[in-house]
Amino acid sequence: MTKQEKVDFVIKTLKELYPTIPVPLDHKDPYTLLIAVLMSAQSTDVRVNKITPLLFAKADNPYDMIKLSVEDIREIIKPVGLSPMKSKGIHGLSHILIDKHNGKVPKTYEELEELPAVGHKTAAVVLSQAFGIPAFPVDTHIHRLMYRWGFTNGKNVVQTEKDAKRLFPEELWNDLHLQVIWYGREYSPARGWDLDKDIITKTLGRKTVLNDYYSKIKK
């Protein structure tokens, strides 16, 4: 297969598997999405979705959030991990949204990444899922699969994002990044990986990945 044929195969397969694409984190607007994505760092979406309703019952907008103390927020979000850093970030960014953005979540990478505890990936998710602005957030699943499929060198997530944006049409980025995440979870996980179920990697996988897989299952 040529590189373009491989890209087309991925697009076609993912579209067939995920014609409708669920959004992993529960939210109702850009602010609640921003908070949920921030909380998801080094945690799971399932855990975050259990905790956000508790937090949002008390504060689902920046004006109510700043009425809580950092310690109040920390107590609620402890189960998602890294609560000291995340609680300070949530409280601090809520102040900034009020002071600089009239309580609204901004729509640019630059302004989002100026917010406490908000990195490039979080900003990309918000732009993509809250505002429909083309972005290709790279999480661990996308980073792993882009390498397994031979689309990037696996060096770092920055390079993976560049390669994904170069290979896939911009109008598909917002759907594709979610489709790849779901595919990674269901068919190509880091642990308990069954290549026979992973049709894309079985078809496109780079030789080093496939050889490594088969050497492990023979042991």
pLDDT in tens, 42-56: 999 999 999 999 999
Q: Where in the chain is the domain with CATH 1.10.1670.10?
A: 3-20+137-217
With 90 as the cut, is the pLDDT of residue 217 above it? no
> Among the CATH numbers 3.40.190.10, 1.10.357.10, 1.10.340.30, 1.10.10.410, which is that of 30-131?
1.10.340.30
* 15 noted as active-site residue: no
Report, as an integer, the average pLDDT of 4-8: 98
pLDDT tens digit sequence for 25-39: 999 999 999 999 999
Report, as an integer, the average pLDDT of 79-108: 98
What does pLDDT average to over the chain? 96
Put simply, whether the predicted model's pTM sits higher than 0.75 gets the answer yes
Q: How many CB atoms lie within 10 A of CB 2?
A: 7
* 121 noted as active-site residue: yes
Query: How far from chain centre, in Å, is Cα 75?
Result: 25
Q: What is the pLDDT of residue 48?
A: 98
Q: Where in the chain is the domain with CATH 1.10.340.30?
A: 30-131
Structure tokens at 5: 């044929």
Catalytic residue (one of 139, 162, 175, 202)? 139
Q: How many CB atoms lie within 10 A of CB 181?
A: 21
With 90 as the cut, is the pLDDT of residue 24 above it? yes
CATH architecture, range 3-20+137-217? Orthogonal Bundle (1.10)
Residue with tokens 């309703």: 53
Helix/strand/coil for 109: helix
